[in-house]
Structure 1
Amino acid sequence: MLSIVVPCYNEEESLPFFVEEMEKIATKINHSIEYIFVNDGSKDQTLKVLRELHQAMPEKVRYLSFSKNFGKEAGLYAGLQAARGDLVTVMDADLQDPPELLPQMITMIEQKEIDCVGTRRTTREGEPPIRSFFAKMFYKLVNKFGDTEMVDGARDFRLMTRQMVDAILELTEYNRFSKGIFSWVGFETEYLEYENRERVAGETSWSFWSLFKYSIDGIVNFSDVPLTLASFVGAFSCLGSGFALIFIVLRTLIFDDPTDGWPSLVAIILFVSGLQLLCLGIIGKYIGKIFLETKKRPIYIVKETEETQQNKKVTYK
């Protein structure tokens, strides 16, 4: 069986197009297919569309609906937990992930005996230039600072064996960054390249600010280099201040030339204070991650599935 995990947030317009395209591809795949849609607290009619899809294809379509928006990472984790297939793929509902690549991906896994076939975009056409620039900078920074290599342009769209999916599910951390987790668990992976595609319908829920915060989480979750840099900044500032103090004292003793530059003194104080706040912010980010992990809160809460629709049973994971 092939399990197709699809996180959804306000995708009522895209879902019919997605299923239509996937059903065309299904005829070219020698596997039975199950769809696992995860409704991540959508504010539109996504849940209604999922109910209708399940009624139309009860043997194929399964869904989970969260009690609120827990984020795409929670949606991915929930979908992977629910997947029953020997092969599992993660896709977006907006058709930016080309479904026609799936037959080739399955062939690669079966013939080359690899564990995962990922996809990566070779172009970023259609994206704002500022977003493309920061995306490239993110991959450069995370690969330079972290021990886990992440492929520039890699998408969440990938086909994985059951063994790799089980390994991913072993990582139950609350602060999740799937691109890093996919890479961290290892397993032999090859990538297929394709050109960027526009959404088939609807609007993206990812703003520049949300992507920026997501990238910060990716760096913090897989690298402690920011903490090391904060330590170096503090040490450099301390040494610099010490040398400056010695210089001022010696100059006063030798040349009787006291320093009376009040504006420069204020500027130095503000500069050093800014460095301290920056370092405290970096440390605070890591402490915040620890704080959330120690709470042991569930990664997501399921309000409804195709099986519990009648009694509205609430489950926790």
Structure 2
Amino acid sequence: MTEDIEFSIVVPCYNEADGIAAFWARLQDVMATTGSRWEAIFVNDGSGDETLTRLNALSTEAAHIRIVDFSRNFGKEAAITAGLDNVRGKACIVIDADLQHPPETILLMIKLWRDGAEVVLGKRKTRDTDSALRKWFSSRFYDLAARLFEVPIPKDVGDFRLMDRKVVEALKQVRENQRFMKGLFAWVGFRTQVVEFEVAEREFGTSSFNLWRLMNFAVDGITSFTTAPLRLWFYVGSTISLCALLYGLYIVVTAIAFGNSVAGYPSLAALLSFIGGVQLIGIGVLGEYIGRIYKEAKYRPIYIVRDIIDK
């Protein structure tokens, strides 16, 4: 009976064929010690390798595996959303399949949940597995988020977490198309505890998150949870206008006192180029927000499911 399921494990998968078997073996060992009925929901996010084939093979061996197969790649945020939409347990754990999130940490999460926590966050102890550039970029993003976002985003906390069913139901009400799950997780609130874990080296495959994608991810977060960039450009524009007014007064006074001269064209050209560049940046920021409005207004589904395999 589905009402007897206590834990739902949501696992977004994209080209994870090589590591699925190792992940599943460790997850089973951990969950067997809980003494509870559980299910695993694997979301195949349009993988181009043998991920779906390997998942189908696992599902023939274990009755508590469900597979949500996307029609194409919709991204990790959509995959997590699809997993949450299909959970049946009293609590849900979101975890990556690459074993950088140690399944053994789930036991401590469950203990805190049973003690009353509604959300248990997995926080990485260090960023030793990241490059120096990625460490710097992540640190600057969290610093910026702490100052600008409408809700605080916990530092060094990713998608690895346990959520009570009431938290999942709250998240299911949020159907915006441009999704920044870290922000949405924080936005719904609820009583929260934190557990720390060591991030393991990735044993199988390579991460699909390069620096370019991480920068776009950061832009999504900023434009999803703050209008500060728009407000910033109001102040920038006001400051430049004031400077231009003062400069204009200076020119008038100089012309009256000393007469008009033809000198100053290089500085004038530089000033016009600077102002033009600032205007283009401001238009770009405004365009980013308008683009988000455009995408939301079309009200396309967050994801499309080709098949749900539930054996």
- Tell me whether the two structures share a fold, i.e. TM-score over 0.5: yes
- Please list the CA deviations of residues 42-62 of structure 1 after superposition, one character each: whole Å capped at 9, or x if unmatched: 1111111111111111x2110
| Equivalent residue number for residue 160 of structure 1 | 163
Question: What is the alpha-carbon distance in structure 1 between the residues aligned to residue 262 and residue 81 of structure 2?
Answer: 61
Tell me the CA shift for residue 193 of structure 1. 1.2
2:47 to 30, 42, 45: 42
Provide Cα deviations, 1:268-298, integer angstroms capped at 9, x if missing partner.
1111011001111111000001000000101
Q: Aligned residue for 2:269?
A: 266
TM-score, normalised via structure 1 length? 0.94
Distance 1:235 1:14 in 2: 55
1:68 equivalent among 63, 67, 72 = 72
Retained in 1: the 8 A contact 2:12–2:83? yes
Deviation at 1:230, TM superposition (A): 1.1
Aligned length: 306
Residue in structure 2 matched with residue 81 of structure 1 by the alignment: 85
SS at match of 2:104: helix
Q: Compute the displacement of 1:196 (Å).
A: 2.4
CA distance in 2, matches of 1:230, 1:122: 37
The aligned residue for residue 295 of structure 1 is 298
Pick from 54, 60, 65 the counterpart of residue 59 of structure 2. 54
1:10 aligns with 2:18: no
Contact residue 125 and residue 198 of structure 2 kept, 8 A: yes
Partner of 1:312: none
Cα separation, 1, equivalents of 2:76 and 2:261: 60
Which letter does structure 2 place at the counterpart of 1:85?
A: G
Corresponding position: 1:226 with 2:229: yes
- Residue pair 2:65, 2:310 contacting (<8 A) in 1 also: no
2:276 aligned with 1:254, yes or no?
Answer: no
Q: Is the contact between residue 121 and residue 196 of structure 1 (CA under 8 Å) also seen in structure 2?
A: yes
Please give the per-residue CA displacement for 1:68-126, whole angstroms capped at 9, x wherever unaligned: 11110000000000110001010000011111111111111112x12011011121112
CA distance in 2, matches of 1:38, 1:80: 10
User: In structure 2, the residue corresponding to 1:251 is in which secondary structure?
Assistant: helix
Is residue 37–residue 79 contact of structure 1 (8 Å, CA) maintained in 2?
yes
Counterparts of 2:161 and 2:128, CA distance in 1: 21
1:155 counterpart SS class = strand
- Matched residues in 1 for 2:233 and 2:37: separation? 52
Structure 2 counterpart of 1:198, one-letter code: E
Which of the residues 240, 244, 248 maps onto 2:247?
A: 244
Q: Is the 8 A contact 1:115 1:164 kept in 2?
A: yes
Point out 4+ residue stretches in structure 1 off by more than 4 angstroms.
Answer: none
Q: Distance in 2 between matches of 1:232 and 1:259?
A: 33
Q: 1:259 to 1:244 in 2, by over 3 A?
A: farther
Conservation of the 8 A alpha-carbon contact between 1:2 and 1:86: yes
Aligned-pair RMSD on alpha carbons?
Answer: 1.2
- 1:63 Cα offset (Å): 0.5
Match of 1:315 in 2: none
C-alpha deviation, 1:258, in angstroms: 2.8
Q: Is 1:5–1:91's contact at 8 Å kept on the other side of the alignment?
A: yes
Cα distance in 2 for partners of 1:31, 1:272 equals 64
The answer to whether the Cα contact below 8 Å between 2:105 and 2:197 also exists between their aligned partners in 1 is no
Quote the Cα distance in structure 2 between the aligned partners of 1:20 and 1:131.
Answer: 31
Structure 2 CA distance, aligned partners of 1:195 and 1:114? 22
Query: Among the aligned pairs, what percent are the same residue?
Result: 39
| TM-score normalised by L of structure 2 | 0.96
How far off its partner does 1:257 sit?
A: 4.7
Give 1:138's aligned amino acid. F
Question: Bigger CA drift: 86-95 or 102-111?
Answer: 102-111
User: Quick check: 1:66–1:303 contact (8 Å CA) kept in 2?
Assistant: yes
Work out whether residues 67 and 301 of structure 1, in 8 Å CA contact, stay in contact via their aligned partners in 2: yes
What is aligned with 1:151?
154
Distance in structure 1 (CA, Å) of the matches to 2:36 and 2:203: 26
Structure 2 partner of 1:176: 179
1:198-217 mapped onto 2 (5 Å cutoff) = 198-217=201-220
Does the aligned pair in 2 maintain the 1:248–1:259 contact within 8 Å? Answer: no
Q: Per chain length, whose mean CA-contact separation is higher, i.e. which structure has more relative contact order (CA < 8 Å, sep 6+)? A: 2
Q: Which amino acid aligns with 1:247?
A: Y
Alignment-mate amino acid for residue 108 of structure 1: L
User: Is the counterpart of residue 116 in structure 1 residue 125 in structure 2?
Assistant: no
- Alpha-carbon distance in structure 2 between the residues aligned to 1:250 and 1:196: 65
Aligned to 2:97: 93
